[in-house]
Structure 1
């Protein structure tokens, strides 16, 4: 059953706050390699996809709601950092924070719509199902690109494995049939290559 507009509006603000706040808590207290997921842009993109998937229909509604979700999560993350480890409150309105919010708008629109596509039919459904896996695979490729860098040690290998496993898992959970799962995983590979290029173009290394 599709949630109505009031439920969506009532859920997006607390969901965005929890995403940012709990993300910092995860980074702070969960040991590596799983703690590294707290620094994952792909995980936030998957959260936007999940919100669009929950909304079920209405691409505009999903795009706006998922973008708001990620925008709210950014200052919430820095609020957690200030409360838990006494970081400077000024970071909340620093230029870097607004840059992350801009990334959040782009990712929220793309993956929020992708979440609604996952309930559609034909190629659109496969593309929607492939998106969350693709962004996790793209981030896995980013981790693999760091192998051999002295600042990372063996962490990139574990991070890449975890991202890849999560990419397969999220597709398996969102799809309703094995054929959909196989097609979505296959479609996620070229999308992941495009995503990897986009990560590099955006300055992720």
Structure 2
């Protein structure tokens, strides 16, 4: 029964993520529109999908991967329908690269969402898992702030977008942690995870 629910929920979530992400990019102005191009936001979606559904670890990983992989072609399909982009974008080398990143992000953040809600997990381990969505948002904010001074970007827009990412990181931390003491621990753990996330995001070329 759990696998059947995942087999329905994960691809539906992926379709919605891909389509709504393109619509967001297309119609929402900056700085909020930048969230549509955010790797971190997709990772948070994978985390929240498994955190909310309380699937087992294996089912969570599979579900999160399916969600993110399905989202990629549907993002490009939405672009084809809305602005007549080439349909081949849904399966070309760039799309396949993003699907590969979706597999990696889905495995990590899907597992994180499951561990954060698994009974019997040590408190520090659960807190570390809860810190993951906030940390990836904070890491992307650091990347944005480090662009200040680059003539290709406006400082005001970078600061505004980074502020949005930080605010979302705080909000998602408040949502997944159940008490103020736990939230404080989660935020503390998110500091080293932010540094790790910054390095990993940089390795993907997202900078």
What TM-score do you get using the length of structure 1 for normalisation?
0.96
Matches of 1:149 and 1:79 in 2, distance apart? 33
Aligned length in residues: 203
Where does the alignment leave 5 or more consecutive residues of structure 1 unmatched?
none
Aligned position for 1:146: 147
Superposition RMSD on alpha carbons, in Å?
A: 1.1
Secondary structure of the structure 2 residue equivalent to 1:151: coil
Where does the alignment leave 5 or more consecutive residues of structure 2 unmatched?
none
Aligned position for 1:71: 69
Moved more, 141-150 or 19-28: 141-150
What TM-score do you get using the length of structure 2 for normalisation?
0.95
After the TM superposition, which segments of 4 or more aligned residues of structure 1 sit over 6 Å from their partners?
Answer: none
Aligned position for 1:59: 57
Matches of 1:149 and 1:195 in 2, distance apart? 22
Aligned position for 2:112: 114
- Give the Å deviation of 1:7: 1.4
- Give the Å deviation of 1:54: 1.9
Aligned position for 2:129: 128
Matches of 1:57 and 1:15 in 2, distance apart? 15
Secondary structure of the structure 1 residue equivalent to 2:81: helix
Aligned position for 1:48: 46
- Give the Å deviation of 1:55: 2.6
Secondary structure of the structure 2 residue equivalent to 1:52: helix
Moved more, 85-94 or 114-123: 114-123
